[in-house]
Each structure stands twice: as C-alpha cells, then as structure tokens.
C-alpha cells in the first residue's frame, strides 16, 4: 500500500513538473500591459460567467481590463499562474493541494462550479444495465478524462472504501466526446462523463448515469456533512493577490454579477452556448446549466485534503487557510 501511495505522489509530481516545462515553453502567453489581468480558463458550460462578464462589459465596469486565454490543460494553468504568467487561472482543489505541497505558490481566489447529485457534473456511466455499483467495476475498464487529478483520485477513493484496489480497475484516458461510442462498442465498461452538455446524447444511447464521482467522494470524505463539490475554481499567486486586492475583489464581483444574470436570463445563457461554444440550438437547449458559486470557505476544502491524503497525492496536512485568499481589511 505504501509503495502504491508513493507511486501516486510521484505521478502527480511528474505531471506538475511537465506542467512547469510546458508553461515555460508554451506560447504565446499574453504579456501584461498596463492594468491588464491575464485570465486562463477552460471553455465549456461551466465558464459561461467568464465569457458573459467579458462580452457584456461587466469586467470593465468593475475596473478590470481582462485578457482571456482558453485551453484545456488545468495543470499548465496551475503551474503558469504560480510563475505569474497569468494573474488568475482556472484549477481544481486537488491540483492546488498538490501544487502547494510541491512548493508552488498558489492561492484560491474564487469558486466557479459546484456539483451535486441533483445537478451532477462528472458522473460515472455504464451501458450494461447489470453494472449498478462501484464494487462491480473490479476487473473492468473505466474511461476517465485524465489519469491523474481530482476525478481519478475521487474515483479511487470511492473504490477503495468499498474494498476495490486501484490496481484492480484499468483506467484509460479518453476524451468526453468518445466515451459514449466506446461504451457502445464495448471497449470500456464505464466512464466518468461530463453531464452538463452530454446528458441528451447519453440518454439517446441508453447509457445509465450513476452518481457524481467528485460529489460522492466529498460527501463520504466529510462523513455526510458536505453535499456539493467544488469542481472548478480560480487561483492566483499569493504575492499578486496581496499586491492587488482590488483586482481580486473586482474579479469576484464580476463573476457574481455574471452568474446572477445567467441564472435569471436563461435565454442569454443558451444564446451564449450557441455563439461561443458553437452548439446547435438543440444541443444548447438540452444543456443543463451548472451550479455556480463564487464563495468558498476553508472548511469546504477539508474533504479534498482527506481524499488526496487517502490516495497518496499529498503526504502532509495542508494549511487550508493559507491556501484561501482572505480579503484584507
């Protein structure tokens, strides 16, 4: 067990080191101009508030000149923001815990997406109606978005609580767009699938959705006291936040305004899905909008530390209060 934990920690270390290398070599990353705030984020339904704040002038009204960069590698974003190559970047709780333990200066400044069983983000899905429990995945192949990170750690945590060792499940990395086809073909037995935009396709193919992996792991790691999971957030380098608290306040205020508007103006959200993400009207109409929330309290990060410790991604208890930005008086 100890060797497996060490291997898990080494895998995460390698991923972060690769992220540092890619961040150092990647280009072009926008260079800061006077008053510019470079923000890196992943496109998708969860990020609608970011796009809406940019397009509607909300950032400008809050005193921010935001330069957006889109990408899909949150590891690169996390390492790059620690190097101040971005002022603010998207990440996930587990990645920040690992980064902090490895000596990268990172700090949470805002939440973005929450997941729950009532509004799942990443649920495990199956084609075989006989597979109804996690215990039945022993000896089977499971497709995941990445082989390290919050999703696979959450899945591993749930499996091991049920007596299924990670080595007894074959995880394969697969893009969300291919998961339903691979399930239909019998090449994988289960997958962790993005439900916001993919629910309609899944249902048309007779795929069964089970629980949200991260939300269930967080619930079990908190002994049932936490029902929703922080699945996406924004981070910065602590020195930058200390130097520019007005930027952090403006960014949080902008996201809050955008979230409030999108919640109360559903048509605007659907139109943005079509224009920005190039969804068809049918796909945009079938998309389940995420649960958005800016506020995060330090105790809410405790379950992620529990999961990361249990799976070997971190080896020490983190200072969660230091990891979370506090607005100075």
Q: How far apart are CA 171 and CA 146, in angstroms?
A: 9
pLDDT digits (tens, 9 = 90+) for 94-132: 999 999 999 999 999 999 999 999 999 999 999 999 999
Query: Quick check: do 2-114+229-323 and 122-221 share a fold?
Result: yes
CA dist., res. 98 & res. 232, Å (int): 15
Both tokens assigned to 271: 């139109």
pLDDT in tens, 273-283: 999 999 999 99
Reported pTM: 0.88
Of the pLDDT bands very low, low, confident and very high (cuts 50, 70, 90), residue 13 is low
The string of pLDDT tens digits covering residues 200-251 is: 888 899 999 999 999 999 999 999 999 899 999 999 999 999 999 999 999 9
CA-CA-CA-CA dihedral for 102, 107, 110, 112, to nearest 10? -10
CA distance between the termini of the chain: 46
Which range (9-23, 75-89, 188-202) has the least confidence? 9-23
Average pLDDT, the chain: 90
- CATH superfamily, with its number, for domain 122-221: Periplasmic binding protein-like II (3.40.190.10)
Instruction: Name all contacts of 259-264 with Cβ < 8 Å and 24+ positions apart.
Output: 259/49, 259/292, 259/293, 259/294, 261/52, 261/56, 262/48, 262/49, 262/52, 262/289, 262/292, 263/289, 263/292
Q: Does CATH place domain 2-114+229-323 in 3.40.640.10?
A: no
Residue 237, both tokens = 């380098």
Mean pLDDT of 280-301: 95
Give me the mean pLDDT over the 160-169 stretch: 95
d(CA 297, CA 315): 22
Domain boundaries, the chain: 2-114+229-323, 122-221
């Amino acid at each position: 067990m100890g060797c497996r934990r060490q291997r898990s920690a080494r895998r995460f270390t390698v991923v972060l080191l690769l992220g540092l290398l890619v961040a150092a070599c990647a280009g072009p990353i926008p260079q800061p101009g006077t008053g510019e705030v470079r923000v890196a984020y992943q496109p998708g339904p969860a990020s609608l508030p970011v796009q809406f704040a940019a397009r509607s002038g909300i950032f400008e009204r809050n005193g921010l000149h935001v330069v957006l960069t889109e990408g899909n590698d949150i590891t690169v974003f996390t390492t790059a923001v620690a190097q101040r190559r971005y002022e603010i970047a998207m990440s996930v709780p587990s990645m920040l815990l690992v980064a902090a333990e490895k000596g990268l200066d990172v700090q949470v400044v805002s939440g973005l997406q929450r997941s729950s069983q009532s509004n799942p983000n990443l649920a495990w899905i199956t084609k075989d109606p006989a597979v109804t429990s996690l215990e039945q995945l022993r000896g089977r192949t499971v497709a995941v978005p990445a082989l390290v990170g919050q999703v696979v750690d959450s899945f591993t945590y749930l499996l091991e609580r049920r007596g299924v060792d990670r080595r007894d499940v074959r995880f394969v990395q697969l893009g969300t767009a291919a998961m339903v086809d691979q399930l239909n073909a019998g090449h994988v037995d289960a997958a962790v699938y993005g439900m916001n935009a993919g629910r309609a396709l899944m249902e048309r193919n007779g795929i069964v959705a089970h629980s949200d992996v991260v939300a269930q792991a967080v619930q079990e790691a908190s002994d049932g006291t936490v029902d929703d999971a922080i699945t996406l957030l924004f981070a910065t380098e602590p020195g930058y936040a200390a130097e520019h608290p007005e930027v952090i306040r403006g960014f949080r205020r902008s996201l809050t305004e955008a979230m409030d508007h999108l919640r109360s103006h559903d048509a605007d959200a659907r139109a943005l899905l079509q224009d920005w993400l190039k969804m068809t009207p049918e796909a945009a109409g079938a998309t389940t909008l995420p649960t958005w929330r800016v506020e995060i309290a330090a105790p809410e990060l405790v379950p992620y530390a529990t999961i990361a410790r249990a799976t070997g991604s971190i080896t020490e208890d983190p200072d969660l209060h230091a990891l979370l930005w506090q607005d100075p008086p």
